[in-house]
Amino acid sequence: MKRRKMYAFTLSLLIVALLFPSPSFAASPSEMKLFKNPVVGDGADPWVVKHSDGYYYYMQTTGNNLTIRKSKTLTGLDHAEKKVVWTPEPGSENSGNVWAPELHYLDGKWYIYFAAGDGDMGKQRMYVLQSEGSDPLGKYSYPKGTKLGKISDPSDKWAIDGTVLEYKNKRYFLWSGWEGDENVSQQIYIAPMKNPWTISGKRVELSRPELPWEKNGTPLINEGPQILKNKQGDVFIVYSASGSWTDDYCLGMLKLTGKDPLKAGDWSKNPEPVFKSSPADNIYGPGHNSFVKSPDGKEDWIVYHAAKFKGAGWNRNVRMQKFTWNADGTPNFGTPVPADTLLRAPSGEDGGKLVPALPGKVYSYEAEDGVVNHATIVNNSGASGGSKVGMIDYNDSYVEFKVAAPPGDYTLKVRYSNGMGETSTHQLALNGKALGEVQYTSYGWDTWRDAERDIHLNAGENKIRLSKGALFAEVDRIDLVPKKTKVFQYEAELGYLKNAKVVNEYDAANHQKVGAMSAHKSSVRFPISVEKSGTYVMNIRYKQPEGNNAVQVLRVNGKKSLILYKGGVSDQWKETMVKVRLKKGKNDISFSKSRGAVELDYFTLQQKH
């Protein structure tokens, strides 16, 4: 996929969206908390459950043990407290390929369901552990009467991805398995449960790969069944389809339309995937998910894994986004949001109501455009300019950037990836002077994060060099953020919308925009705060999908004026400028429909002197 290059003096949040070193941040206590995906830098098969103690408990595939993370927030999963609660006995029948664990609270105990085998991929079966106390991070053991915790229906065929459905005071086990003893196709099965560790009847097939979007890759795959219920009590099974190693991995859905979950005919399959790849947004292979509520219980969130880049196969990370419900009671997951897009944190996490003021002027330089010595430029769709610099592995390896930003103090942000499992470094030099190390926390290869250093640039051209340090890291880009920025940017999609919707668009500043705003009484509102009263220059970045002149109503603290958006090429971003009078402290700015259709990307504010 062709990617847009980014150069110096760029006034765009396409850069700013990548500036922050952690997955979440809040600019001030009064501004809303934001985060960006991925929320876990390396991982697959995410499972998260919110318990009555106010904590989230998270698990994912590790391969050789069962690890639980404990976090007060969903955005904090990558940095959460972590504990290995079970390690298999070497050589046992469940000692290898420990996949897709799920933590369930049933009958006053915690149960962990997981797939495992003895290292032979054809011997995968489902197993369960039972907590010995009430602490999810406490001790676990095999339930009495089981052989190493094995849970199976009478057929005892290959099985993975087990989960539990509770419906009308009955309990059912669901999983993905083989019909016979050969790896031809994985189906979704259900069976009744006598207790949390015992299946009490024969399995029933609910779904097999049969539609074109379910049949990419060989063997054919239906897997990862997850239960979702709406407020009306309708039951859905959201499952993963096509090969997990392909770019076409996606989510399908079954709905219980009858009364008996054990009757295949009482389930109906959605004819199209409900969540799928979006090549235009550089998103591939979203699948194997779980569902969870926001901390205050008001929002529904889907947590899923996706490929880090096109063709990444099983190189995946974990992401999440809010979803809504359609009028007919079915879930609306929308389109996966591009990685690095700034999103509002789940409601109930710390944060205020003001729309954040983001740096409006950032100087950005791609690593592949610099001087690359004894290192390698690698094409990679997950990198900001479509390429990265790797193999900075030798004593004489370096990448050097010639920068032409104005003199002054800056925050240097190095966009890097590190999959070493521990901190790595590069040596930093400015105009030939050594400035010490830039440290890179490990989040996984091709999961991009930012490392920061403060630097001072001289007048004229400056040279910034990153050279081999301890261990290894890859470099995507550097960004220079002025310490004393005078231009602030406000993303349209972070405003409060009415009769309007957020739409992905990769060449928008934050990979998103507010859609055409052509609906009756559509509007977007921005409560913001400024440090000084006075006249400000507002630059608005917009498109007109219909190509004609359009008009919007601009309200600033209740004072009304009109904005004329001149027509032109309908798929090109344009800018228009107006002047607004703001007071010190909180201000309320809104855009609403008057005539025609307008798509909004962002606006900037700079005080006029």
Q: Looking at residues 18-35, what average pLDDT do you find? A: 60
pLDDT digits (tens, 9 = 90+) for 378-422: 999 999 999 999 999 999 999 999 999 999 999 999 999 999 999
Q: Looking at residues 293-301, what average pLDDT do you find? A: 97
* The one catalytic residue among 102, 223, 366, 450: 223
CA distance 518 to 316: 38
pLDDT digits (tens, 9 = 90+) for 62-106: 999 999 999 999 999 999 999 999 999 999 999 999 999 999 999
Question: How far, rounded to the nearest angstrom, does the alpha carbon of residue 110 sit from its chain's CA centroid?
Answer: 28
CA distance 198 to 99: 20
pLDDT digits (tens, 9 = 90+) for 105-136: 999 999 999 999 998 999 999 999 999 999 99
pLDDT digits (tens, 9 = 90+) for 412-463: 999 999 999 999 999 999 999 999 999 999 999 999 999 999 999 999 999 9
Bridge partners (DSSP) listed for residue 591: 524, 554
Instruction: Check whether 182 has a pLDDT greater than 80.
Output: yes
Instruction: Check whether 204 has a pLDDT greater than 50.
Output: yes
H or E element at residue 578: strand 574-582
Position 589 scores a pLDDT of 98
* The one catalytic residue among 45, 340, 476, 599: 45
Q: What is the mean pLDDT of the chain?
A: 94
223 as an active site residue: the answer is: yes
Position 119 scores a pLDDT of 87
Instruction: Check whether 53 has a pLDDT greater than 60.
Output: yes
CA distance 175 to 561: 59
pLDDT digits (tens, 9 = 90+) for 450-495: 999 999 999 999 999 999 999 999 999 999 999 988 899 999 999 9
pLDDT digits (tens, 9 = 90+) for 318-330: 999 999 999 999 9
Residues 6 or more apart from 509 whose CB is under 8 A from it? 12, 13, 14, 16, 17, 489, 491, 541, 601, 602
% of the chain at pLDDT higher than 70: 95
Position 471 scores a pLDDT of 97
Q: Looking at residues 195-199, what average pLDDT do you find? A: 98
Position 28 scores a pLDDT of 65
45 as an active site residue: the answer is: yes
Domains of the chain: 38-336 (2.115.10.20), 362-482 (2.60.120.260), 487-607 (2.60.120.260)
